[in-house]
Amino acid sequence: MGRWFEEAVFYHMYPIGMTGAPRRNEQEEITHRFPALEEWLPHIASLGCTAIYIGPLFESTSHGYDTRDYRLVDRRLGDNDDFKHFVQKAHELDIRVVVDGVFNHTGREFFAFQDIQRIRERSPYCCWYKGINFGWNSPYNDGFGYEAWRNCFELANLNLREPQVRDYLLDVIGFWIDEFDIDGIRLDCADCLEFSFMEDMRRFTSGKKEDFWLMGEVIHGDYSRYVKPQMLDSVTNYELHKGLYSGHNDHNYFEIAHTIRREFDQNGGIYRGMKLYSFVDNHDVDRIASKLNVPEHIYPVYTLLFTLPGIPSIYYGSEWGIQGRKEGGNDDPLRPAVNLKETLKEVPDPKLLEWIRTLGKIHKEHPELANGSYQELLLTNRQYAFARALDEHGVIVAVNNDDKEAELSVRVPAHGKTYISLTDDTDVQEENGMIRMVLQPNESKILSF
């Protein structure tokens, strides 16, 4: 058995969006929206999900990543007791809870930044931020300059080399573990964080909870620089994310297979042995249903998400095919309000929802999909088959992205086995080291052995 997060299926919640909370936090009062979020928990469990990534949650000014108070849940969502109750309810369903950790920058309303605005050079917090320079100015006419994340000056970059900042943030993490019993943190902008700070975080959180999960948002670069025992458990696999949709749009399964070989091949994969966080969409990228040229490709896409090496994640609403594209720099279309009760009365795509539930069940019942080896069995532009095996057991996965029926002849990963279909009523017999199967357009088949 692996650690809980290595065998998990995640559900990704962006609470400000899904509850329809105001995009600007200009209210004095607290609005209790967590009861609406708790209504999602049975649905999430029904998908076979065993963990939730929810965030951002820190009290902030707009989209949630411009923190103004690390110890308060955003008042647009509720109060600290509301979130504590949410975690308890999730844990009762054996669902772990992971939150966003926004530690690269703060918003301009954070107390340390406001102290610099107020007393300038006399502020003891001048060392808390990168690039503070009282000979410059900012686009907000502060009378001083500072380094901002990607030149978005509402996000002031923290100086993570400053011991006071590290101690403050580690204390914040300890507060969230002690107060709310969270199970992990997804590190926003992990590719901007100091490596030594992430090492400090690893030591600190492991001392608090031995199986505490640290996952980093890393878009480009060498993931192995981050995923190591003394640092992070996982990072976002943007490389596979790109392959999963473009490999279908281009009818090119070679792209996906090449990515898996490059990353996880037993004899030379650069990330072999690592459990990266897999996704087909999230709060920062277009919805998968809007990215695919052929809508029916969404079925093999999700099959591969759940069965290729990695920790699969579903973004809220995409399990029934929500559409959404960025509009310039506006991410709101990716983060819509959803009334779960009303939606489940008349699900937009019940067939997709049922398929994802099937995949979740298969993932839970077959540990080889989390911890097993990977072996490519068949590869063409439009058909792809592989095996995942653990000890004496395994599964064969076959997908077809063609608009025509495909008859496949797949070599077996192990001789003398019985191949039982997990996705329909047909069993498959081995003949001379091969199994034959017929896949309908955009169909997937999963066999156990």
What CATH number did the domain enclosing 429 receive? 2.60.40.1180
369-403 pLDDT per residue, tens: 999 999 999 999 999 999 999 999 999 999 999 99
**In terms of domains, do 216 and 251 share one?**
yes
- The domain of 440 spans 371-448
SS3 127: helix
pTM of full prediction above 0.85: yes
- Picking from 368, 393, 425, the residue at the C-terminal end of a domain is 368
**In terms of domains, do 268 and 125 share one?**
no
**In terms of domains, do 258 and 232 share one?**
yes
Six-digit token pair at 396?
């064969």
**In terms of domains, do 364 and 242 share one?**
yes
What is the tally of structural domains in the chain?
3
**In terms of domains, do 387 and 323 share one?**
no
- Picking from 315, 341, 368, the residue at the C-terminal end of a domain is 368
**In terms of domains, do 266 and 385 share one?**
no
**In terms of domains, do 213 and 151 share one?**
no
Q: What is the pLDDT along the chain (449 residues), one digit of tens a residue?
A: 579 999 999 999 999 999 999 999 999 999 999 999 999 999 999 999 999 999 999 999 999 999 999 999 999 999 999 999 999 999 999 999 999 999 999 999 999 999 999 999 999 999 999 999 999 999 999 999 999 999 999 999 999 999 999 999 999 999 999 999 999 999 999 999 999 999 999 999 999 999 999 999 999 999 999 999 999 999 999 999 999 999 999 999 999 999 999 999 999 999 999 999 999 999 999 999 999 999 999 999 999 999 999 999 999 999 999 999 999 989 999 999 999 999 999 999 999 999 999 999 999 999 999 999 999 999 999 999 999 999 999 999 999 999 999 999 999 999 889 999 999 878 788 999 999 999 999 999 999 99
What angle separates helix 298-307 from helix 350-365, to the nearest 10 degrees? Answer: 20
What's the pLDDT at 383? 98
**In terms of domains, do 200 and 236 share one?**
yes
**In terms of domains, do 214 and 344 share one?**
yes
**In terms of domains, do 279 and 163 share one?**
yes
**In terms of domains, do 224 and 295 share one?**
yes
What's the pLDDT at 78? 98
Q: For residue 41, give the nearest of 51, 27, 30 by alpha carbon.
A: 51
Q: For residue 5, give Cα distances in angstroms to 183, 184, 185, 348, 373.
A: 9, 9, 12, 30, 18
Q: What one-character-per-residue DSSP string does 387-409 give?
A: EEEETTEEEEEEEE-SSS-EEEE
What's the pLDDT at 345? 96
What's the pLDDT at 1? 59
- Picking from 337, 368, 399, the residue at the C-terminal end of a domain is 368
DSSP state letter for 132 = -
Q: For residue 61, give Cα distances in angstroms to 22, 56, 58, 173.
A: 10, 12, 10, 21
What angle separates helix 80-92 from helix 163-180, to the nearest 10 degrees? Answer: 60
Q: Which residues contact 235 (CB under 8 A, 6 or more apart)?
A: 190, 215, 216, 217, 218, 223, 226, 227, 276, 277
**In terms of domains, do 149 and 164 share one?**
no
Distance CA 255, CA 4 (A): 30
